[in-house]
Structure 1
Amino acid sequence: MTVAAPLDRPPGRVRRSGSARRFVPPQHGAWAMLLVPYLAGLLVAGFRWLDLPLLGAWVSGYLLSYFALQAVKTGRLRRFGPQLALYGPITAVLAAPVVVLRPAVLLFAPAYAALLGVNVWYARRRRERALLNDLASVAQSCLMVFVVAAVAQVPPGRVLAPFVIVLLYFTGTVLYVKTMIRERGSVAYLRASVGFHASALIAAAALGPVAAAVFAVLLARAWALPRHRLTPKQVGLAEIAASALVLAAAALS
Protein backbone atom coordinates (compact mmCIF):
# COMPACT_ATOMS: atom_id res chain seq x y z
CA MET A 1 0.00 0.00 0.00
CA THR A 2 1.68 3.17 -1.19
CA VAL A 3 -0.33 5.78 0.59
CA ALA A 4 1.35 8.94 -0.62
CA ALA A 5 -1.31 10.55 -2.70
CA PRO A 6 -3.24 12.75 -0.23
CA LEU A 7 -0.15 14.77 0.52
CA ASP A 8 2.44 13.89 -2.08
CA ARG A 9 5.84 14.95 -0.83
CA PRO A 10 7.49 17.25 -3.35
CA PRO A 11 11.07 16.68 -4.43
CA GLY A 12 13.55 17.68 -1.77
CA ARG A 13 14.95 16.47 1.49
CA VAL A 14 13.20 16.30 4.80
CA ARG A 15 15.53 16.37 7.78
CA ARG A 16 14.98 13.50 10.14
CA SER A 17 17.07 11.27 12.32
CA GLY A 18 18.76 8.25 10.78
CA SER A 19 16.54 5.78 12.63
CA ALA A 20 13.41 7.62 11.54
CA ARG A 21 14.54 7.55 7.93
CA ARG A 22 15.05 3.80 8.18
CA PHE A 23 11.79 2.82 9.84
CA VAL A 24 9.23 5.60 9.19
CA PRO A 25 8.14 6.33 5.60
CA PRO A 26 8.35 9.96 4.41
CA GLN A 27 4.65 9.96 3.49
CA HIS A 28 2.74 12.42 5.64
CA GLY A 29 -0.58 11.88 3.88
CA ALA A 30 -0.48 8.19 4.70
CA TRP A 31 -1.63 8.77 8.26
CA ALA A 32 -4.87 10.43 7.17
CA MET A 33 -5.57 7.58 4.78
CA LEU A 34 -4.94 5.07 7.54
CA LEU A 35 -6.94 6.79 10.28
CA VAL A 36 -9.92 8.45 8.58
CA PRO A 37 -11.55 5.26 7.18
CA TYR A 38 -10.84 3.41 10.43
CA LEU A 39 -12.43 6.19 12.50
CA ALA A 40 -15.35 6.53 10.08
CA GLY A 41 -16.13 2.84 10.53
CA LEU A 42 -15.72 3.15 14.28
CA LEU A 43 -18.08 6.13 14.53
CA VAL A 44 -20.87 4.22 12.81
CA ALA A 45 -20.27 0.58 13.78
CA GLY A 46 -19.21 1.25 17.36
CA PHE A 47 -16.10 0.32 19.32
CA ARG A 48 -15.09 -3.25 20.19
CA TRP A 49 -11.92 -4.20 22.03
CA LEU A 50 -10.70 -5.99 18.90
CA ASP A 51 -10.53 -2.61 17.20
CA LEU A 52 -7.33 -1.91 19.15
CA PRO A 53 -5.27 -4.81 17.72
CA LEU A 54 -6.96 -4.14 14.38
CA LEU A 55 -5.61 -0.58 14.39
CA GLY A 56 -2.16 -1.80 15.35
CA ALA A 57 -2.17 -4.42 12.60
CA TRP A 58 -3.47 -1.85 10.10
CA VAL A 59 -0.67 0.61 10.85
CA SER A 60 2.11 -1.98 11.06
CA GLY A 61 0.74 -3.67 7.94
CA TYR A 62 1.04 -0.39 6.09
CA LEU A 63 4.63 0.01 7.28
CA LEU A 64 5.38 -3.57 6.24
CA SER A 65 3.87 -3.07 2.78
CA TYR A 66 5.69 0.23 2.29
CA PHE A 67 9.12 -1.29 2.86
CA ALA A 68 8.21 -4.45 0.94
CA LEU A 69 7.30 -2.30 -2.05
CA GLN A 70 10.55 -0.38 -1.65
CA ALA A 71 12.37 -3.70 -1.83
CA VAL A 72 10.43 -4.58 -4.99
CA LYS A 73 11.15 -1.18 -6.50
CA THR A 74 14.89 -1.22 -5.83
CA GLY A 75 15.50 -4.97 -6.05
CA ARG A 76 17.40 -4.74 -2.76
CA LEU A 77 15.67 -7.05 -0.33
CA ARG A 78 18.62 -7.11 2.07
CA ARG A 79 18.57 -3.33 2.36
CA PHE A 80 15.04 -3.40 3.78
CA GLY A 81 15.45 -6.62 5.74
CA PRO A 82 15.48 -4.95 9.20
CA GLN A 83 12.20 -3.15 8.53
CA LEU A 84 10.53 -6.29 7.18
CA ALA A 85 11.85 -8.33 10.10
CA LEU A 86 10.37 -5.79 12.52
CA TYR A 87 6.98 -5.06 10.99
CA GLY A 88 6.21 -8.56 9.71
CA PRO A 89 5.98 -10.25 13.12
CA ILE A 90 4.26 -7.23 14.69
CA THR A 91 1.57 -7.32 12.00
CA ALA A 92 1.09 -11.07 12.38
CA VAL A 93 0.81 -10.95 16.18
CA LEU A 94 -1.66 -8.06 16.17
CA ALA A 95 -3.76 -9.48 13.33
CA ALA A 96 -4.00 -12.96 14.88
CA PRO A 97 -6.73 -12.26 17.48
CA VAL A 98 -8.76 -10.31 14.94
CA VAL A 99 -8.65 -13.13 12.39
CA VAL A 100 -9.30 -15.87 14.96
CA LEU A 101 -12.23 -14.14 16.67
CA ARG A 102 -13.67 -12.41 13.58
CA PRO A 103 -12.81 -14.66 10.61
CA ALA A 104 -15.25 -12.67 8.47
CA VAL A 105 -12.49 -10.10 7.99
CA LEU A 106 -10.79 -12.61 5.69
CA LEU A 107 -13.53 -11.99 3.12
CA PHE A 108 -11.70 -8.79 2.25
CA ALA A 109 -8.34 -10.51 1.76
CA PRO A 110 -8.81 -11.15 -2.00
CA ALA A 111 -9.62 -7.48 -2.64
CA TYR A 112 -6.58 -6.34 -0.66
CA ALA A 113 -4.38 -8.87 -2.46
CA ALA A 114 -5.57 -7.68 -5.88
CA LEU A 115 -5.04 -4.02 -5.00
CA LEU A 116 -1.63 -4.75 -3.52
CA GLY A 117 -0.83 -6.48 -6.79
CA VAL A 118 -1.43 -3.16 -8.55
CA ASN A 119 1.02 -1.50 -6.14
CA VAL A 120 3.61 -4.19 -6.85
CA TRP A 121 3.18 -3.79 -10.62
CA TYR A 122 3.84 -0.07 -10.43
CA ALA A 123 6.65 -0.46 -7.90
CA ARG A 124 8.52 -2.83 -10.20
CA ARG A 125 8.30 -0.19 -12.93
CA ARG A 126 9.22 2.66 -10.56
CA ARG A 127 5.92 4.38 -11.31
CA GLU A 128 4.47 4.49 -7.82
CA ARG A 129 3.24 8.08 -8.38
CA ALA A 130 0.95 6.94 -11.22
CA LEU A 131 -2.68 7.95 -10.80
CA LEU A 132 -4.00 4.37 -10.99
CA ASN A 133 -1.56 3.29 -8.30
CA ASP A 134 -2.76 6.12 -6.07
CA LEU A 135 -6.37 5.08 -6.63
CA ALA A 136 -5.54 1.46 -5.76
CA SER A 137 -4.11 2.70 -2.46
CA VAL A 138 -7.24 4.78 -1.87
CA ALA A 139 -9.41 1.70 -2.38
CA GLN A 140 -7.30 -0.31 0.08
CA SER A 141 -7.62 2.44 2.64
CA CYS A 142 -11.37 2.86 2.32
CA LEU A 143 -12.11 -0.86 2.56
CA MET A 144 -11.10 -0.55 6.21
CA VAL A 145 -14.58 0.88 6.85
CA PHE A 146 -16.03 -2.56 6.05
CA VAL A 147 -13.33 -4.36 8.04
CA VAL A 148 -14.21 -2.33 11.14
CA ALA A 149 -17.87 -3.20 10.57
CA ALA A 150 -16.96 -6.90 10.33
CA VAL A 151 -15.12 -6.67 13.64
CA ALA A 152 -18.21 -5.07 15.19
CA GLN A 153 -20.39 -7.74 13.51
CA VAL A 154 -22.41 -4.99 11.86
CA PRO A 155 -23.99 -5.59 8.42
CA PRO A 156 -22.00 -4.00 5.56
CA GLY A 157 -25.01 -1.98 4.48
CA ARG A 158 -24.89 -0.01 7.69
CA VAL A 159 -21.47 1.43 6.83
CA LEU A 160 -22.05 1.83 3.10
CA ALA A 161 -22.62 5.60 3.38
CA PRO A 162 -19.39 6.22 5.36
CA PHE A 163 -17.52 4.07 2.86
CA VAL A 164 -18.84 6.09 -0.08
CA ILE A 165 -18.03 9.36 1.69
CA VAL A 166 -14.40 8.49 2.44
CA LEU A 167 -13.94 6.94 -1.00
CA LEU A 168 -15.19 10.09 -2.71
CA TYR A 169 -13.09 12.26 -0.42
CA PHE A 170 -9.78 10.48 -0.91
CA THR A 171 -10.29 9.96 -4.64
CA GLY A 172 -10.93 13.67 -5.04
CA THR A 173 -8.00 14.48 -2.78
CA VAL A 174 -5.64 12.48 -4.99
CA LEU A 175 -6.54 14.79 -7.87
CA TYR A 176 -6.66 17.95 -5.78
CA VAL A 177 -3.25 17.47 -4.16
CA LYS A 178 -1.68 16.81 -7.54
CA THR A 179 -3.00 20.20 -8.70
CA MET A 180 -1.34 21.78 -5.66
CA ILE A 181 2.07 20.11 -5.86
CA ARG A 182 3.26 17.71 -8.55
CA GLU A 183 0.86 18.77 -11.31
CA ARG A 184 0.59 22.40 -10.34
CA GLY A 185 -0.37 24.47 -13.38
CA SER A 186 -1.79 21.48 -15.26
CA VAL A 187 -5.13 22.52 -16.78
CA ALA A 188 -6.04 18.88 -17.40
CA TYR A 189 -5.58 17.90 -13.76
CA LEU A 190 -7.43 20.99 -12.55
CA ARG A 191 -10.40 20.19 -14.77
CA ALA A 192 -10.35 16.57 -13.67
CA SER A 193 -10.22 17.59 -10.01
CA VAL A 194 -13.02 20.15 -10.20
CA GLY A 195 -15.12 17.87 -12.40
CA PHE A 196 -14.75 14.95 -10.02
CA HIS A 197 -15.58 17.09 -7.00
CA ALA A 198 -18.71 18.40 -8.74
CA SER A 199 -19.80 14.81 -9.41
CA ALA A 200 -18.95 13.86 -5.83
CA LEU A 201 -21.16 16.68 -4.57
CA ILE A 202 -24.09 15.30 -6.55
CA ALA A 203 -23.48 11.82 -5.14
CA ALA A 204 -23.06 13.16 -1.60
CA ALA A 205 -26.35 15.04 -1.83
CA ALA A 206 -28.08 11.66 -2.01
CA LEU A 207 -26.54 10.78 1.36
CA GLY A 208 -27.96 13.77 3.22
CA PRO A 209 -27.53 17.49 3.82
CA VAL A 210 -24.41 17.17 5.99
CA ALA A 211 -22.53 15.20 3.34
CA ALA A 212 -23.72 17.63 0.67
CA ALA A 213 -22.48 20.62 2.68
CA VAL A 214 -19.08 19.02 3.27
CA PHE A 215 -18.59 18.18 -0.39
CA ALA A 216 -19.64 21.68 -1.37
CA VAL A 217 -16.73 22.92 0.75
CA LEU A 218 -14.42 20.37 -0.86
CA LEU A 219 -15.53 21.48 -4.32
CA ALA A 220 -14.78 25.10 -3.42
CA ARG A 221 -11.37 24.00 -2.16
CA ALA A 222 -10.62 22.12 -5.39
CA TRP A 223 -11.59 25.15 -7.48
CA ALA A 224 -10.10 28.01 -5.44
CA LEU A 225 -6.91 26.82 -3.73
CA PRO A 226 -4.94 25.78 -6.84
CA ARG A 227 -5.04 29.46 -7.81
CA HIS A 228 -2.87 30.23 -4.78
CA ARG A 229 0.67 29.09 -4.11
CA LEU A 230 0.51 27.15 -0.85
CA THR A 231 3.34 25.24 0.76
CA PRO A 232 2.96 21.48 1.27
CA LYS A 233 2.63 22.17 5.01
CA GLN A 234 -0.27 24.55 4.39
CA VAL A 235 -1.92 22.02 2.09
CA GLY A 236 -1.53 19.39 4.81
CA LEU A 237 -3.04 21.60 7.51
CA ALA A 238 -6.02 22.29 5.27
CA GLU A 239 -6.48 18.54 4.79
CA ILE A 240 -6.59 18.00 8.54
CA ALA A 241 -9.61 20.30 8.65
CA ALA A 242 -11.10 18.60 5.59
CA SER A 243 -10.65 15.18 7.21
CA ALA A 244 -12.51 16.36 10.31
CA LEU A 245 -15.41 17.53 8.14
CA VAL A 246 -15.46 14.22 6.29
CA LEU A 247 -15.58 12.29 9.56
CA ALA A 248 -18.52 14.43 10.67
CA ALA A 249 -20.29 13.68 7.40
CA ALA A 250 -19.57 9.96 7.77
CA ALA A 251 -20.97 9.92 11.30
CA LEU A 252 -24.10 11.92 10.50
CA SER A 253 -25.07 10.52 7.09
Structure 2
Amino acid sequence: MTTVPAHRRPVAGPAGRTTAGATGHAPGRGRSPGWMPPQHGAWAMLLLPVLAALAVTGPHPLHLPLLGAALAAYPLSYFGLQAVKTGRFRRVRPQLVGYGLATVALAVPVLVARPATLAYAPLYAALAAVNAGHARRRRDRAFVNDLAFVLQCGLLGLVVATVAEVPWTRVVGVTVVALGYLVGTVLYVKTMIRERDSVRYRWASWAYHAVAALAAVLWASVPVAVVFALLLARAVLLAGRRVAPVRVGLVETACALLVLAAVAL
Protein backbone atom coordinates (compact mmCIF):
# COMPACT_ATOMS: atom_id res chain seq x y z
CA MET A 1 0.00 0.00 0.00
CA THR A 2 1.24 3.49 -0.79
CA THR A 3 0.49 6.62 1.09
CA VAL A 4 1.24 10.25 0.96
CA PRO A 5 4.27 12.02 -0.46
CA ALA A 6 7.03 12.72 1.97
CA HIS A 7 7.58 16.41 2.07
CA ARG A 8 4.93 18.67 3.38
CA ARG A 9 3.97 20.95 6.19
CA PRO A 10 3.56 19.45 9.68
CA VAL A 11 0.24 19.05 11.51
CA ALA A 12 -3.42 19.43 10.86
CA GLY A 13 -6.01 16.82 9.56
CA PRO A 14 -7.17 14.13 11.97
CA ALA A 15 -4.67 13.97 14.82
CA GLY A 16 -2.47 16.57 13.25
CA ARG A 17 -2.25 16.08 9.48
CA THR A 18 -2.21 19.19 7.38
CA THR A 19 -4.28 17.82 4.56
CA ALA A 20 -4.90 14.28 3.69
CA GLY A 21 -1.80 13.69 1.75
CA ALA A 22 0.15 16.46 3.38
CA THR A 23 3.39 15.54 4.98
CA GLY A 24 6.20 17.17 6.82
CA HIS A 25 9.01 18.93 4.97
CA ALA A 26 11.74 16.67 3.69
CA PRO A 27 14.75 16.70 5.98
CA GLY A 28 17.49 19.10 5.10
CA ARG A 29 20.63 17.88 3.36
CA GLY A 30 22.58 17.62 6.59
CA ARG A 31 19.88 16.09 8.74
CA SER A 32 18.95 12.47 9.25
CA PRO A 33 15.56 11.55 7.76
CA GLY A 34 14.72 9.66 10.95
CA TRP A 35 12.42 6.66 11.08
CA MET A 36 8.96 8.14 11.61
CA PRO A 37 6.95 10.31 9.21
CA PRO A 38 6.37 13.74 10.79
CA GLN A 39 2.59 13.90 10.24
CA HIS A 40 0.76 12.11 13.02
CA GLY A 41 -2.68 12.54 11.49
CA ALA A 42 -1.95 10.04 8.72
CA TRP A 43 -2.23 7.21 11.24
CA ALA A 44 -5.73 8.32 12.18
CA MET A 45 -6.70 8.50 8.51
CA LEU A 46 -5.49 4.93 8.02
CA LEU A 47 -7.27 3.67 11.11
CA LEU A 48 -10.68 5.28 10.58
CA PRO A 49 -11.84 3.07 7.65
CA VAL A 50 -10.38 0.00 9.35
CA LEU A 51 -12.17 0.60 12.64
CA ALA A 52 -15.39 1.52 10.82
CA ALA A 53 -15.30 -1.78 8.92
CA LEU A 54 -14.47 -3.72 12.09
CA ALA A 55 -17.65 -2.32 13.64
CA VAL A 56 -19.52 -4.29 10.97
CA THR A 57 -17.41 -7.43 10.52
CA GLY A 58 -16.19 -7.94 14.06
CA PRO A 59 -12.54 -8.81 14.78
CA HIS A 60 -10.67 -11.72 13.18
CA PRO A 61 -7.17 -12.97 14.08
CA LEU A 62 -5.91 -12.09 10.60
CA HIS A 63 -6.87 -8.47 11.16
CA LEU A 64 -3.83 -8.04 13.41
CA PRO A 65 -1.19 -8.80 10.74
CA LEU A 66 -3.29 -6.88 8.20
CA LEU A 67 -3.26 -3.79 10.40
CA GLY A 68 0.44 -4.23 11.09
CA ALA A 69 1.17 -4.47 7.36
CA ALA A 70 -0.82 -1.30 6.68
CA LEU A 71 0.94 0.60 9.46
CA ALA A 72 4.35 -0.53 8.19
CA ALA A 73 3.46 0.22 4.57
CA TYR A 74 2.68 3.85 5.35
CA PRO A 75 6.22 4.85 6.43
CA LEU A 76 7.60 2.59 3.69
CA SER A 77 5.74 4.64 1.10
CA TYR A 78 6.64 7.89 2.88
CA PHE A 79 10.35 7.27 2.52
CA GLY A 80 9.92 5.72 -0.90
CA LEU A 81 8.14 8.80 -2.22
CA GLN A 82 10.71 11.04 -0.59
CA ALA A 83 13.37 9.13 -2.50
CA VAL A 84 11.39 9.46 -5.74
CA LYS A 85 11.15 13.21 -5.27
CA THR A 86 14.79 13.80 -4.34
CA GLY A 87 16.45 10.95 -6.22
CA ARG A 88 18.40 10.10 -3.07
CA PHE A 89 17.45 6.46 -2.48
CA ARG A 90 20.66 5.64 -0.60
CA ARG A 91 19.84 8.18 2.09
CA VAL A 92 16.65 6.34 3.08
CA ARG A 93 17.80 2.80 2.26
CA PRO A 94 17.69 1.61 5.91
CA GLN A 95 14.10 2.81 6.26
CA LEU A 96 13.07 1.24 2.96
CA VAL A 97 14.66 -2.09 3.86
CA GLY A 98 13.35 -2.12 7.44
CA TYR A 99 9.78 -1.13 6.67
CA GLY A 100 9.78 -3.21 3.49
CA LEU A 101 10.71 -6.38 5.35
CA ALA A 102 8.15 -5.65 8.06
CA THR A 103 5.41 -5.06 5.49
CA VAL A 104 6.18 -8.28 3.62
CA ALA A 105 6.47 -10.35 6.81
CA LEU A 106 3.08 -9.15 8.03
CA ALA A 107 1.31 -9.21 4.67
CA VAL A 108 2.36 -12.70 3.53
CA PRO A 109 0.30 -14.63 6.15
CA VAL A 110 -2.76 -12.59 5.18
CA LEU A 111 -2.23 -13.16 1.46
CA VAL A 112 -1.64 -16.89 1.95
CA ALA A 113 -4.73 -17.33 4.12
CA ARG A 114 -6.90 -14.98 2.06
CA PRO A 115 -5.64 -14.94 -1.56
CA ALA A 116 -8.80 -13.02 -2.50
CA THR A 117 -7.15 -9.92 -1.03
CA LEU A 118 -4.85 -9.88 -4.08
CA ALA A 119 -7.82 -8.54 -6.05
CA TYR A 120 -7.15 -5.14 -4.46
CA ALA A 121 -3.53 -5.06 -5.64
CA PRO A 122 -4.23 -3.41 -9.04
CA LEU A 123 -6.20 -0.63 -7.35
CA TYR A 124 -3.42 0.04 -4.87
CA ALA A 125 -0.84 -0.08 -7.66
CA ALA A 126 -2.76 2.51 -9.67
CA LEU A 127 -3.10 4.83 -6.69
CA ALA A 128 0.57 4.34 -5.82
CA ALA A 129 1.43 5.37 -9.37
CA VAL A 130 -0.54 8.59 -8.87
CA ASN A 131 1.46 9.35 -5.71
CA ALA A 132 4.77 8.52 -7.39
CA GLY A 133 3.94 10.65 -10.43
CA HIS A 134 3.10 13.65 -8.29
CA ALA A 135 6.22 13.17 -6.17
CA ARG A 136 8.41 12.98 -9.26
CA ARG A 137 6.90 16.19 -10.64
CA ARG A 138 7.02 17.83 -7.18
CA ARG A 139 3.26 18.33 -7.27
CA ASP A 140 2.56 16.38 -4.13
CA ARG A 141 0.35 19.12 -2.68
CA ALA A 142 -2.19 18.71 -5.46
CA PHE A 143 -5.71 17.76 -4.43
CA VAL A 144 -5.66 14.71 -6.74
CA ASN A 145 -2.59 13.43 -4.94
CA ASP A 146 -4.28 13.86 -1.56
CA LEU A 147 -7.37 12.12 -2.91
CA ALA A 148 -5.28 9.12 -3.98
CA PHE A 149 -4.12 8.69 -0.39
CA VAL A 150 -7.67 8.98 0.92
CA LEU A 151 -8.84 6.27 -1.48
CA GLN A 152 -6.06 3.97 -0.34
CA CYS A 153 -7.22 4.42 3.23
CA GLY A 154 -10.82 3.75 2.24
CA LEU A 155 -9.92 0.53 0.40
CA LEU A 156 -8.63 -0.86 3.69
CA GLY A 157 -12.23 -1.09 4.86
CA LEU A 158 -13.02 -3.48 2.01
CA VAL A 159 -9.87 -5.47 2.69
CA VAL A 160 -10.95 -5.87 6.32
CA ALA A 161 -14.20 -7.44 5.12
CA THR A 162 -12.42 -9.79 2.71
CA VAL A 163 -10.04 -10.94 5.42
CA ALA A 164 -13.00 -11.66 7.73
CA GLU A 165 -14.71 -13.52 4.85
CA VAL A 166 -17.61 -11.10 5.06
CA PRO A 167 -19.11 -9.86 1.75
CA TRP A 168 -17.50 -6.52 0.98
CA THR A 169 -20.93 -5.12 0.19
CA ARG A 170 -21.69 -5.18 3.93
CA VAL A 171 -19.00 -2.60 4.67
CA VAL A 172 -19.61 -0.34 1.68
CA GLY A 173 -21.88 1.95 3.69
CA VAL A 174 -19.46 2.60 6.55
CA THR A 175 -16.57 2.86 4.08
CA VAL A 176 -18.41 5.53 2.09
CA VAL A 177 -19.08 7.45 5.30
CA ALA A 178 -15.40 7.27 6.29
CA LEU A 179 -14.33 8.34 2.80
CA GLY A 180 -16.88 11.14 2.84
CA TYR A 181 -15.35 12.52 5.99
CA LEU A 182 -11.74 12.13 4.81
CA VAL A 183 -12.33 13.90 1.49
CA GLY A 184 -14.04 16.69 3.37
CA THR A 185 -11.17 17.07 5.79
CA VAL A 186 -8.75 17.43 2.88
CA LEU A 187 -10.70 20.43 1.60
CA TYR A 188 -11.42 21.89 5.04
CA VAL A 189 -7.81 21.74 6.25
CA LYS A 190 -6.63 23.40 3.05
CA THR A 191 -8.95 26.33 3.83
CA MET A 192 -7.39 26.55 7.29
CA ILE A 193 -3.70 26.42 6.36
CA ARG A 194 -2.24 26.24 2.85
CA GLU A 195 -5.24 27.72 1.01
CA ARG A 196 -6.58 29.91 3.80
CA ASP A 197 -6.92 32.92 1.48
CA SER A 198 -8.27 30.96 -1.49
CA VAL A 199 -11.88 31.77 -2.27
CA ARG A 200 -12.00 28.83 -4.69
CA TYR A 201 -11.03 26.29 -2.04
CA ARG A 202 -13.38 27.84 0.46
CA TRP A 203 -16.38 27.49 -1.86
CA ALA A 204 -15.29 24.00 -2.88
CA SER A 205 -15.17 22.98 0.78
CA TRP A 206 -18.56 24.51 1.54
CA ALA A 207 -20.19 22.95 -1.52
CA TYR A 208 -18.73 19.53 -0.79
CA HIS A 209 -19.79 19.56 2.86
CA ALA A 210 -23.29 20.75 1.95
CA VAL A 211 -23.73 17.91 -0.55
CA ALA A 212 -22.26 15.38 1.91
CA ALA A 213 -24.59 16.56 4.68
CA LEU A 214 -27.61 16.35 2.37
CA ALA A 215 -26.61 12.85 1.24
CA ALA A 216 -26.27 11.80 4.89
CA VAL A 217 -29.74 13.12 5.68
CA LEU A 218 -31.26 11.28 2.72
CA TRP A 219 -29.44 7.95 2.90
CA ALA A 220 -27.54 7.52 6.17
CA SER A 221 -28.52 6.93 9.76
CA VAL A 222 -29.58 9.74 12.06
CA PRO A 223 -26.24 9.78 13.99
CA VAL A 224 -24.28 10.01 10.74
CA ALA A 225 -26.55 12.80 9.46
CA VAL A 226 -26.05 14.75 12.68
CA VAL A 227 -22.26 14.39 12.49
CA PHE A 228 -22.14 15.52 8.86
CA ALA A 229 -24.28 18.52 9.73
CA LEU A 230 -21.69 19.40 12.39
CA LEU A 231 -18.91 18.93 9.83
CA LEU A 232 -20.69 21.36 7.51
CA ALA A 233 -21.00 23.89 10.33
CA ARG A 234 -17.29 23.68 11.19
CA ALA A 235 -16.35 24.03 7.49
CA VAL A 236 -18.47 27.18 7.15
CA LEU A 237 -17.75 28.84 10.48
CA LEU A 238 -14.02 28.18 10.76
CA ALA A 239 -12.79 28.44 7.16
CA GLY A 240 -10.14 31.12 6.75
CA ARG A 241 -9.74 31.79 10.45
CA ARG A 242 -6.23 32.00 11.82
CA VAL A 243 -6.12 28.93 14.01
CA ALA A 244 -2.92 27.21 15.10
CA PRO A 245 -2.36 24.00 13.09
CA VAL A 246 -2.25 21.94 16.27
CA ARG A 247 -5.75 23.17 17.17
CA VAL A 248 -6.98 22.38 13.68
CA GLY A 249 -5.60 18.89 14.20
CA LEU A 250 -7.32 18.52 17.56
CA VAL A 251 -10.66 19.54 16.05
CA GLU A 252 -10.22 16.98 13.27
CA THR A 253 -9.30 14.29 15.76
CA ALA A 254 -12.57 14.96 17.58
CA CYS A 255 -14.47 14.93 14.27
CA ALA A 256 -12.92 11.59 13.27
CA LEU A 257 -13.97 10.09 16.62
CA LEU A 258 -17.50 11.39 16.10
CA VAL A 259 -17.65 9.79 12.65
CA LEU A 260 -16.45 6.49 14.07
CA ALA A 261 -18.98 6.63 16.89
CA ALA A 262 -21.78 7.43 14.43
CA VAL A 263 -21.05 4.46 12.16
CA ALA A 264 -20.70 2.16 15.15
CA LEU A 265 -24.21 2.97 16.42
Compute the TM-score of the two structures, normalised by the length of structure 1: 0.93
Percent identity of the aligned residues? 55
2:222 aligned partner: 209
Residues of 2 paired with 1:91 and 1:167: CA distance? 24
Distance 2:108 2:24 in 1: 38
Partner of 1:246: 259
- Pair 1:229 & 2:229 matched: no
Distance change (3 Å), C-alpha of 1:133 and 1:12:
closer
User: How far did 1:251 drift?
Assistant: 1.8
4+ long deviations beyond 6 Å = 9-14
Q: How large is the RMSD of aligned CA atoms in angstroms? A: 1.9
Q: 1:60: which partner in 2?
A: 72
State yes or no: 1:220 paired with 2:222: no
- Give the Cα–Cα distance (whole angstroms) in 1 for the partners of residues 168 and 211 of structure 2: 24
Aligned mates of 1:169, 1:102 — CA distance in 2: 29
Deviation at 1:112, TM superposition (A): 0.5
Q: 1:12 Cα deviation (Å)?
A: 7.8
Distance across 1 between alignment mates of 2:211 and 2:47? 25
2:107 matched residue in structure 1:
95
Cα distance in 1, alignment partners of residues 23 and 80 from structure 2: 22
Once the two structures are TM-superposed, the CA of residue 89 in structure 1 deviates from its matched residue by: 0.5
2:34 alignment partner, SS class: helix
Maintained 8 Å contact 2:196/2:240: no
Q: Say whether 1:2 aligns with 2:4.
A: yes
139, 154, 166: which one aligns with 1:154: 166
Report the Cα offset of residue 11 of structure 1.
Answer: 8.2
2:200 aligns with one of 188, 192, 210: 188
Secondary structure of the structure 2 residue equivalent to 1:23: coil
TM-aligned CA deviation for residue 247 of structure 1: 0.5
Structure number with higher helix proportion:
1
What TM-score results when the alignment is normalised by the length of structure 2?
Answer: 0.89
- Per the TM alignment, residue 148 of structure 1 is displaced from its structure 2 partner at its CA by 0.5
In 1, are the aligned partners of 2:83 and 2:89 still within 8 Å (CA)? yes
CA distance in 1, matches of 2:103, 2:137: 27
Contact 1:10/1:181 (8 A) holds in 2: no
Residue 120 (structure 1) aligned with residue 122 (structure 2) = no
* Contact 1:165–1:249 under 8 Å retained in 2: no
